[in-house]
Amino acid sequence: MGKVPDKKLKVGILLDSADGYMNKRILNDCIDLAEEYNVLPVFFLGGVLEPAREPAGSDFLYSLPHPGSLDALIVFPNSIAPWDPVTETRKILDRIPDLPVYAANEAMPGLFSVAINEKPAIHALVDHLVLTHGYKEFSLITGPDAPASISRRRRQLFEEQLARHGISVPENKIVLGRFKEDDGKRAVEALFRQEDSIPEVIISFNDQMAAGTIEELLNRGIAVPADIAVTGFDDVEETSLLPCTLTTIHVPVWEMMTALFEKITGDLRGRKTAGDQRKPDAVYLNATFIRRESCGTLRNDETHAVEMEELVGEQIESIYSPHQSRNKTFRQELENVLEETLTTGETDRFSEFSQKIVKKILRTGDISSSFIDIFSSQWTISLLKHDDNETRILINALFLDAIRLLVRGKMQTCARIHANDRGALEFSRNSTSILSRKPTMQEALEEIGKNLSMLGIERCILVLTDPENPDLGITRLSYKKRYFREIPTENFTKFPVSRLVNNGLDSITVPIAVLPIAINTDFFGYMVLSITENSFEDLSLVQELVSRLIAGAASNESLSSQIQFLERKNTALSRLSTIDEFTGLHNRRVLHETGKDLFRRTLNEGKTCCCIFLDMDGLKKINDEWGHPEGDTAIKTLAAILRKSFRSRDMIVRYGGDEFIVLMFDIKKATVSSALARITRQLDLYNKSSGKPWMLQASWGVTVVPPDRITLSFEDLIEETDDRLYEEKQRRREAGLR
């Protein structure tokens, strides 16, 4: 691997989204560490790769990282592919064999990985619940379940530890979730619908589901932990807002990301990393059991206080470089820093220490209160140790500043969340209003640009894929707070989307998020956003609102543009989902989804549309007398004739077998007559020149729908046109024309 100069490294990070307690903590830690390690993080937030689903935005977003645009890549397999982390992530990485890749929270074969050893913490949690509290009736709320999933792994570990105590969890007490808060609420509903006993303790496989569980229990008048105990997994700051502190398992995210950033920068800058360079491919960090109130532990439990001090000590250790001692406890280090400050009279050392500690400890669910306890104890000890007034005044000032720093940090966090909530709410309201006006694409882009400022976004680039070539990106919006909002109307800048990270991000020097603009399986392009002051709480909401606006604008363009947009979707996603591969025409799915929408839109706009139901005559005879290959030729030839006979914006559908449907929008009756005349001429020309022993013939039924038939349903239109085809075929039989 070549060495990279000591410059700001561009490191990609693959996560499913900015949603969720754990993901926010990961983003937060990555952003803080990036500053320390001179790294520019680029977060690719493409969604979850789900089994047996159609292509979506994530398929395209996760294909963007490549050696020409990034120096390295960190993948979170359990985040982007929770059902099959290793296999699905490997499919992504196989596209980029030359890019240095590192794995987080999962051991990926062949990659340097930092994973979490959860077994000791789960062992301690189960022992505490069973031996200390005497619980025997358990319920589990899991995540996405599959043989290779982290959720299945955790379930097996919990069941193994419970089995040591002769306890098993019935299947009806195991509720599947997707690590969302609402899963906890639904799990409580499911458990209370059952006629048998309610569990004594509910173990949730992440803190977010545990928070939903506690909220739903309290809504039902059930006290936690007096009536039912609840435990979580992760140890995140958001749980500090719960009515009771959450018993959980602390996952050392900061330490995990520190190890990865240390390894990446060491590899790319040619420095030796901490320890032997012949490190194993997988490094495991231990998770830690944290007992709090929600399992029944009292707040004055001395063991709880000791555990909190040890955990703060772990946070302290992660501040120092690998070459510094990490054997000191938090209290010891606090005392040493204080004494050094008192000796030298220079308060910067203590202030720097306090700032770093507060920044780290604000991220856990209960550690801030323990921090105050430890600071208070050391504060008292230090005052007793020093009896001169001048020193005591300095000690009081130092500790008061540290406590104020913690309180201010909490207040700033709440204020930032509140401000973002207000901006997100206003953006959401404005988006609904914009959509109701049925904007054009240009109008939608203008409105998006106007609303970005209220979300605290400094830089934003919006790139749509080219309708003719989805491998090309078109820059449609470039936004910079307080300076400019560029939304070109012509002469768009085009570039290969594989170069998005280079073309779109070179001017952004703060952490970056790249998100797909997509609605379900409809994919439109990409958003590139700067992340400042860790303001990523609403990234997913912004993505959803912008996607809705772009999708709405696309559907509001002219009918001709709609058909072009449909073609673009076919190319960019899965042709099999919209194209009949045999003829190259649209298939029935397009007819019933897009055709129905265009039919209704045409009538609402006061325009006339038409449906033609067409059927080949004599296909059975061709197959029987000259073979099925000749029948196939006849069907393909008729499809080609239809394509030549209608306008590019008309929708031509192979309905099935030898049946075709054509939808024409914004037409006059003469337009229909001309098209049918072209079909007749093309059939005659083919039969005269083909040299085939059979004749290519067709019958059709036609329904022209004027605007005054606006109550006609799409299904009735198809049925009415089919009836007219049947009548026409009867007429031809009676006239001896076939």
Number of other CB atoms surrounding residue 123 within 10 Å: 16
Give the residue-averaged pLDDT of 305-332.
47
- Report residue 300 as tokens: 């004055």
Q: Taking the CB of residue 510, how many other CB atoms lie within 10 A of it? A: 15
Instruction: Tell me, letter by letter, the H, E, C secondary structure of 666-696.
Output: CCCHHHHHHHHHHHHHHHHHHHHHCCCCCCC
Q: Considering the entire predicted model, what is its pTM?
A: 0.65
Q: What is the dihedral angle through the alpha carbons of 287, 292, 295, 297, rounded to the nearest 10 degrees?
A: 130
Pick the CATH number of 1-297 from 3.40.1260.10, 3.40.50.2300, 3.40.50.720, 3.40.50.300: 3.40.50.2300
Crossing angle, helix 389-436 and helix 539-556, to 10 degrees? 20
Q: Which two tokens stand for residue 526?
A: 């990409």
Give the separation between CA 307 and CA 304, rounded to whole angstroms.
5
Between the alpha carbon of residue 672 and those of residues 600, 609, 681, 704, the distances in Å are: 19, 10, 14, 9
Could you check whether the bond before residue 225 is cis, i.e. omega within 30 degrees of 0? Answer: yes
Is pLDDT larger for residue 392 or for residue 652? 652
Model pLDDT, residue 370: 55
Q: Which amino acid is at 290?
A: I
pLDDT band of 460, cuts 50, 70, 90: confident
Q: Which residues contact 193 (CB under 8 A, 6 or more apart)?
A: none
Query: Sorting pLDDT into bands at 50, 70 and 90, what band is 330?
Result: low
* CATH topology (fold) of 437-560: Beta-Lactamase (3.30.450)
Of 65, 68, 88, 64, the C-alpha closest to 77 is: 88
The pLDDT of residue 361 is 62
pLDDT of residue 331: 67
> Does residue 4 have a pLDDT over 60?
no
Return the pLDDT at 566. Answer: 55
Report yes or no: 204 and 231 within 8 Å, Cβ to Cβ: yes
- 8 Å CB contact between 514 and 526: yes
The structure tokens 């007559």 sit at: 673
Q: What phi-psi label fits residue 447: left (phi over 0), alpha (psi between -120 and 50 degrees) or beta?
A: alpha
**pLDDT of 482 above 80:** no
Most confident of 17-31, 199-213, 370-384, 518-532: 199-213
The total number of residues written for the chain in this structure: 738
Instruction: Tell whether the model's pLDDT for residue 12 goes beyond 90.
Output: yes
Contacts of residue 519, defined as CB under 8 A and 6 or more positions apart, other chains included, come to 547, 548, 551
Strand partners, 475: 463, 493
Whether the per-residue pLDDT at 576 is higher than 90: the answer is: no
Helix (H) or strand (E) holding 201, with range, is strand 201-204
Task: Specify the DSSP class assigned to residue 462.
Answer: E
The burial class, CB within 10 Å (0-12 / 13-18 / 19+), for 446 is middle
DSSP for 374-394? HHHHHHHHHHHH--SHHHHHH
- For the four alpha carbons of 622, 628, 629 and 631, in that order, the dihedral sign comes to positive
As beta bridge partners, residue 34 has none
Report the pLDDT value the prediction gives residue 541, as an integer from 0 to 100: 79
- Three-state DSSP class for 2? coil
Tens of pLDDT, residues 243-280: 888 999 999 999 999 999 999 999 998 865 444 444 55
Task: Give 579-734's CATH code, choosing from 2.30.30.280, 3.30.70.270, 3.40.50.2300, 3.40.50.620.
Answer: 3.30.70.270
pLDDT in tens, 103-138: 999 999 989 999 999 999 999 999 999 999 999 999
| Pairwise CA distance, residues 242 & 208, whole Å | 11
> Read out DSSP for 254-269?
HHHHHHHHHHHHHHHH
**385's tokens:** 């140790």
Neighbours of 347 (CB within 10 A): 14
Range 134-163 average pLDDT: 95
Kindly state the percentage of the chain with pLDDT values over 70. Answer: 82
Calpha distance 633→637 (Å, rounded): 6
- For residue 237, what is the DSSP state? G
Indicate the helix (H) or strand (E) that contains 358. Answer: helix 348-361
Question: Quick check: 602 pLDDT over 60?
Answer: yes
Q: Report whether pLDDT(396) > 70.
A: yes
Q: How many CA atoms lie within 13 A of 307 on its CB side?
A: 20
